[in-house]
Every structure is written in structure tokens, then in C-alpha cells.
Amino acid sequence: MYQTKTIKQKIGLFMTILLPVLVTQLGLYAMNFFDTMMSGHAGSNDLAGVAIGSSIWVPVFTGLSGILLSITPIVSQLIGSEQKQHVSFSVMQGIYLSIGITIIIFIIGLFSLDSILNTMNLETEVQTIAKNYLTGLSFGILPTFIYTVFRCFIDALGKTRVTMTITLLSLPINVLFNYLLIFWKIRLS
């Protein structure tokens, strides 16, 4: 990053940082959109199960990843105050926090997921699909949180295009795995 002196420079730098962050956020939500849309083509019960699973997961993810987003201002402050030697410590603490949050989610999910789904009065097949969706999604919780820490670190360095590129490259991979896991299973049935 560099120091700006004029309003034009400030707006230019702001847009250089803002647009990739915005595209990254839209890309992350697009993954959830594609999950739901593609499951809808598999059947109404699949759509309902994934939609229920997403409605449970998204608030949890959004709330808890919000904690990890604190890495961005912490690292930015350390770099700005010429204390770069402390950056790696802060990033490692974010990774440890990711591990801790993941363990807590696993424990809470293990003991409460069935109860939450039972209180929704869902059809048995929809409840099973929602549980399987959340169970499958749970394998990606730790990598997603660690990615969030690294994304925040990279964003703090002002390299927001890097995280945008990674997110945009991961979208087709997400769609491919959706296709394989949703529609390939249907063909095998």
C-alpha cells in the first residue's frame, strides 16, 4: 500500500481494494446459490434439504467467520506501525482460533443437530438430506476458516485481487463437485 495525498488518489486506492473484496464476497455467496440451485434440479426434497441445511449453516458461518475477519485490521495496524515481526504471531493465533471454533461447532453440531432438525417438523427424507448436507459440509469447516484467516492476511497486505482470483477459480470447482456429487449419485441410483 502507499500513502495517498489527493482525493482522487484516495478514491482510486479505495476502488482498487473495494472491487476485488466485493467480487470475493459475491463469489462466496454464489457458491451457496449454486449448491441450492443445482440441488433443486435433483428433486424437491433435495432442494428443501439443502435449503434447510444452508439456512442453518450460513448464519453460523457468517457470525463465526466475522470473528476471524478481525485479522485484517490487526495485521494492517501492525504493518502500518512498522511491527511486521508480530504479523506471523497474529496470523497463527487466527489459525488456532479457527481450530477452536471448528471443534466447538463439531461438538455443538454432534449434540444438537438432530434436535434442531426434529423441531422443524420436516419430512423424514428432507431431514435426512439436510443432515447429510450439513455433515458433508462439516468436512470443509476447518479449511474454510483457515482460508478466511489467510484471506484476511492477504487483504490486509492490500492484495485483494489474489483472494478474488482464488474465489473465482473455486466457483467452477464447486459447480463441478456439485454436479458429480448430486447428479452422478442420481445416475447410480
| Per-residue pLDDT of the chain in tens (189 residues, 90 and over written 9) | 567 788 988 888 888 888 998 999 899 889 888 888 888 888 899 889 988 998 999 899 889 989 999 999 999 999 989 999 999 999 999 999 999 999 999 999 999 999 999 999 999 999 999 999 999 889 999 999 999 999 999 999 888 899 999 999 999 999 998 888 888 765 655
Quote the number of domains for the chain.
Answer: 1
Task: Report yes or no on 37 lying in a domain.
Answer: yes
Residue 168 domain flag: yes
CA dist 136 and 143 (Å) reads 13
- CA–CA separation, 3 vs 156, rounded Å? 15
Q: What is the pLDDT of residue 39?
A: 83
Q: Quick check: is 20 in a domain?
A: yes
In a domain, 2, yes or no: no
> Does residue 115 belong to any structural domain of this protein?
yes
pLDDT of residue 176: 92
Is residue 39 included in any domain, yes or no?
yes
Q: What b-and-e string marks burial along 135-159, b requiring 16 or more CB atoms within 10 Å of the CB?
A: eebbeebbebbbbbbbbbbbbbeee
CA–CA separation, 98 and 140 (whole Å): 12
Domain that holds residue 14: 7-188
Q: Are 25 and 35 in contact (CB under 8 A)?
A: no
Does some domain include residue 92?
Answer: yes
What is the model's pTM? Answer: 0.83
Query: Is residue 53 domain-resident?
Result: yes
